[in-house]
Amino acid sequence: MKFDAGDKTDKDFCTALQHEFLQCQEALREFEVRAASLVSQPEDRVLAYGAYNAYTRFIHHLYEFLIAALARERRDTSFFSKRGQGAPARDDHVSALIHRIITTARNAASDRGSEPHLGVLAQDFAKRFRECRNVAYAHVTPKRPHLNLSEFYQKYHPYLCILYQNAREWWSQDEEFPDLKEITSFSVVSRNGSAQRCSDQ
């Protein structure tokens, strides 16, 4: 759906983008806490499981946020679902955005007299980012147990941090938590004043 800057669709899209960013931020914070514990207990499977889950949520929400931000730039909510906008085209758009953000970050660091500790960004980073998000979190597939998320983290985490920091400059909340419409109006209290439970625990 096409829209104009500042119209109702744009405002609703911005609310959804802010929600997506907050989920990304929440996942990253959880990952950082779990990762700190995992450093001192690297063989603990429960800690590894928790850190993996938090990190894959971070990847997923960051990727979804970037795709939505690109669609908003084009003033078209369905930009990436149109014919001809399959995975390769999506990768091209994400790659261009990533290079733009990283170039800006490098230039800013250079102006301050420092240099970010970044190697050369792999040409297939956008594709790897998408595939990692799909396999590790978005889709249930037999590939998941074989995805080396540790390797992905070692190679690409600094770039994900730059993308996250760029998003945070624009989308972090004010001191007061934002009103996200039905998202923050959600209630689990039923008519009898209690919440329904799925388990007996």
**93 and 48 in contact (C-beta within 8 Å)?**
no
Percentage of the chain with pLDDT > 90? 62
Going from N- to C-terminal start, the domains of the chain cover 8-183
**Where does the pLDDT of residue 61 fall: very low under 50, low under 70, confident under 90, or very high at 90 and above?**
very high
**109 and 115 in contact (C-beta within 8 Å)?**
yes
**127 and 91 in contact (C-beta within 8 Å)?**
yes
- Does the pLDDT at position 191 exceed 80? no
Cα separation, 25 vs 39, whole angstroms: 21
Residues in CB range of 17: below 8 A, 6 or more apart? 65, 68, 69, 72, 171
Place of tokens 């405002």: 11
Please, is 56 exposed, middle or buried when counting C-beta atoms within 10 Å of its C-beta (0-12, 13-18, 19+)?
A: buried
pTM for this predicted structure: 0.88
Q: Which residues pair with 76 in a beta bridge?
A: 2
- Mean pLDDT value across residues 172-198: 81
- For the chain, the distance separating the N- and C-terminal CA atoms, rounded to the nearest angstrom, is 44
Cα separation, 11 vs 49, whole angstroms: 37
Residue 187 has a CB neighbour count (10 Å cut-off) of 6
**Where does the pLDDT of residue 117 fall: very low under 50, low under 70, confident under 90, or very high at 90 and above?**
low
Which of the 8 DSSP states describes residue 134? I
**177 and 184 in contact (C-beta within 8 Å)?**
yes
**130 and 107 in contact (C-beta within 8 Å)?**
no
Higher-confidence residue of 2 and 109: namely 2
